Every structure is written in C-alpha cells, then in structure tokens.
Structure 1
C-alpha cells in the first residue's frame, strides 16, 4: 500500500468520486482531485479572458534588496568590500596590488551608471575567444598551418 497523496487522489477520483464530492460540499472543502483542478483552471482562464496578468500590484511596497541599495562610496567601505572579497574568494593578500586588479578598479570607477558584471557563461565565452585569438596570433607568428 502506498500512502502518497497523488495516489490517494487518483483512487478517490476513480472509485469514490460521488462520495468525495458530497463530503467536500458538506465540509465546504475545495476539491483537490486532478480532474476538478483542470476544470477549475479552465473555468478561471475562460473567466479571465485573453489578458495577461501582471505582478505590479503585488510588488508595490517591497523594499529593495540590500545589494540594490546604493551605498555612498568611502575608502572604508571599499576597503571592507575588498577584504571581504579576498576572504570569500581565497585570494592572496597581494591580489589587491596586482596591476590587472588595479586596472579593473580604475576602469569601473569611471562608470557613470554602475558596472555590469558578466555572468559565468559570458565570462567563459570571452576567455575562450581570447584563447583562440592568442592561438591564431601564435600560429601566425610561428608560421604554422
């Protein structure tokens, strides 16, 4: 005997449909049977019409996530963020002195509307493109076909 709710619902629907509906009506219970759910969904879609619903009303009043709140720049805030990054990514302490890191920070500091950080897939694709270009340049330099 299996006591899964979906198995029990199928059993009720196939063997005790009338009795279940009488019980549900007497108890003012909304039926959870698959067929009833489909019917209710179709009826709701027909009543709603072809318009698409939005979440606008539901989202009003929800505060911004902490990362979306704009924190004014200060050397102390930057230092804290840099140290947290060092620890979280297990970087060596001298990573902050690396010329490429400093170049990245200087470039991002000139951004007027924030910085878009590429995702994992975009970063991977760009690394692969850089590698392919490097290999092509190396082949051209060595005259390899």
Structure 2
C-alpha cells in the first residue's frame, strides 16, 4: 500500500498548525521528541546557544598554585631543622637548651595552621 504523502514533513506541519497542543502532550507522555518544525527549531537553537555560551578551555586551564606539602613531625626532622638553624644563624649549641627557646618551640607546637614570625620592624 503506497503512503498517502511522499514527504512526512507535511504531516509535521499539519500537526504543528492544527493539533500542536495535543501532539506535544502525547509526545511528552510517551517520552518522544516532538517533530513539529517549531519544536525542532527550538531544540536546535537551544543546542547552538549552549555550545555558543560554552567558554574556551583557556577559561578553565589556569595554573594551580601547588599546595605546600606538609611533612609530618618527627624527632629526626626537628633535630635536622634545629642543626640547620644553628649553623645558618651562627648560634651557639647552648641556644637549643635555653628555656626561652624551648618555650618558643612549645608555643609554636600548639599552632594548628602554622605560625607567623614577626619581621625585624615588628620585633
């Protein structure tokens, strides 16, 4: 049996002109994409807008600041840091045993987010 029309686009136009609301309700209820020319054009415009509004990768590809790697405390690490501090600042070995130095280290050890050491002007 031959089809009534050779091109189904006339059916889509007819549905869009005469039965648009009923067809859209049926399409929605049956999870079907509406093929009414206006709905097809709306979908294409929505896709083009979504693509057109998408930024370039340059908007997102910004260099990240590397997070400082915090090495967990160990007695060996502290001893190495203390020796380096003694040598670099030309301190006497007895400076590590001074009660005020020990107090300063004990106070700093309670810090949860690092410490801020005042500079020369602030001191």
TM-score w.r.t. length of structure 2: 0.47
Please state which structure has a larger fraction of its residues in helix. Answer: 1
Which is bigger in relative contact order (C-alpha 8 A, separation at least 6)?
A: 2
Greater Cα radius of gyration, structure 1 or 2 = 2
TM-score (norm 1): 0.40
